[in-house]
A = this chain, B = another copy of it.
């Protein structure tokens, strides 16, 4: 049977912008590893954002009037509130210390802005365009190394009723990120009901297990033997996310009158 292996790639801490592809290539070589056809490279969204210079000095951020209101509602610094407003596609609501927002189509606390693993007083945003970042990295590997790989941009995220964060795909390139099983039969010949599998999320979580959250310095994981289908067409954001008006969780939980049956 086919086995899947996750190979962690340690990368020295960088400050300021850097060349993402060159940095990854050198780290892989230094570790005596290589990138092969069919590999999926899981790369931390924070690492990509850093390479793009998406680290903001909070002191340099001037909050607008709306940000001052959001800051008071969520009990967060007004500079952070300003960044959340700038970054978010939509803001749902707040709890102390917590702003639930939509960014890159995903429901995500604080619009994906994080203040950990960056210098004190700074915040790090999501990559500007994660789909483009993933596709560029995929093409650089194809052109420079001649290898057809997939790339997934990973983040760690809290999920409803769960303790602790798990890995999720912010963007993907070069592989079938969602498997459509509609019309397929199950073991007993039933036509499948839950019919799509978020393969990019599964692989992101597997990679997240190795990446850690603190000082591990493992922003890249090579996933080998996944058997995922390598493709050339672009993987769009809409391949991974649905609108919040279609999301069954958001629709169910935000119903004005919730009927409790038990």
Q: Write the residues of chain A forming the contact surface with B, with a CB cutoff of 8 angstroms.
A: 1-10, 13, 31, 66, 69-70, 73, 75-76, 85, 88, 90-98, 100, 102, 105-107, 109, 114-120, 156, 158-168, 178-179, 181, 184-199, 201-206, 208-210, 212-215, 217-218, 226, 239-244, 247-256, 258-262
Contact = CB atoms under 8 A, between A and B. Distances in A.
Given A186-B214, A198-B162, A201-B162, A93 B258 contact: yes
Nearest to A239: B163
B242 A161 contact: yes
Contact of A241 (B163, B167, B178): B163
Contacts of A75: 190
Contacts of A191: 96-97
A90 to B, nearest CB: 7
B215 A187 contact: yes
Contact of A178 (B3, B8, B163, B202): B163
Contact of A259 (B73, B115, B165, B251): B73
Given A3-B7, A188-B120, A262-B85, A252 B160 contact: no
Nearest to A240: B163
